[in-house]
Amino acid sequence: MQSFESSGVVTAFEKTGRGEPIVLLHGGEADHSMFDGLAPALATHFTVIAYDQRDSGATRNPASSYSLADLADDAAALIRGLGYDRAHVFGTSLGGLIAQVLAARHPGCIDRLILSSTWKVNRSPLDVTADVFRTLASYRGDTIANAPKIAEYFFPPDYLRARPELIEIFRGSTRDDGQKARRGALLAQPVAADLASFDRPTLLLAGADDRLIPNAETFVLARDLVRVETRTIANAGHVASIQAPERVAEAVTAFLNSKKKAA
């Protein structure tokens, strides 16, 4: 992996492919490796930058609290630090929240935006799917025993039966207690994310079988956006980028290439 330093944060990233740049923002409990299937599928058409956020993977940052705004600023610094005026941005789940704040704070950094399996900034997960998040919180008291139950909120049961090794993702975490605490405190900090003036084309993408974030919570973001399309990935759960990377790449590529047809 390569690294880029800005404001005391050493961001680890992988850069592959050729063409227009697209930056991938991972989910809350993941790191850049969640895109190990998606990045190669996109790299045939684009320069793909998959990076680790603060307290994730190989990125190193000060042991102090931070907000979604700080994570959005990190993304903007990475885009500009790699020499790009702007890049396409794909954010999934928590990464989608960061991408929304990036669009609000640094709209000039974004060419086209893809928000996947995410929800509106400043809306508590307990307001999105209260029963689901309360159940997951109880399961996380013993992730070793409850990993199969946790996994079913992220992947459809039939898919897990075919890929049982994915359950291991949910048995533990490589983050230490400080890292977990800082990541866990992110959503408790309100942040400005007004997208009313963001006029770049945006795709709202959702897995049809997402049990964690209902499709309606993702698609309601269309009300805040000027130029928006929606698309659903059939038979996919919350982590479509792992479950169906080729189909996600197909949807993303079609959306990004549509600007060439419109030009």
pLDDT tens for the chain, residues 1 to 263:
999 999 999 999 999 999 999 999 999 989 999 999 999 999 999 999 999 999 999 999 999 999 999 999 999 999 999 999 999 999 999 999 999 999 999 999 999 999 999 999 999 999 999 999 999 999 988 999 999 999 999 999 999 999 999 999 998 778 999 999 999 999 999 998 999 999 999 999 999 999 999 999 999 999 999 999 999 999 999 999 999 999 999 999 999 998 655 54
Annotation: CATH topology of 2-123+189-262: Rossmann fold (3.40.50)
In whole angstroms, give the CA distance from residue 150 to residue 146.
Answer: 6
In whole angstroms, give the CA distance from residue 221 to residue 115.
Answer: 9
Q: Kindly list the strands in the beta sheet with 202-207, ordered across the sheet, starting from the edge strand earlier in the chain.
A: 2-6, 9-17, 47-51, 21-25, 87-92, 110-116, 202-207, 228-233
Residue 104 region by backbone torsions, left for phi larger than 0, else alpha for psi between -120 and 50, else beta = alpha
Query: Does the global pTM surpass 0.85?
Result: yes
In whole angstroms, give the CA distance from residue 106 to residue 81.
Answer: 14
Q: State the pLDDT at residue 248.
A: 98
Joined tokens for residue 208 = 């049809």
130-139 and 143-151 helices cross at what angle (nearest 10)? Answer: 150
Joined tokens for residue 168 = 């291991």
Bridge partners, 231 (sequence order): 205
Q: State the pLDDT at residue 260.
A: 58
Q: State the pLDDT at residue 263.
A: 43
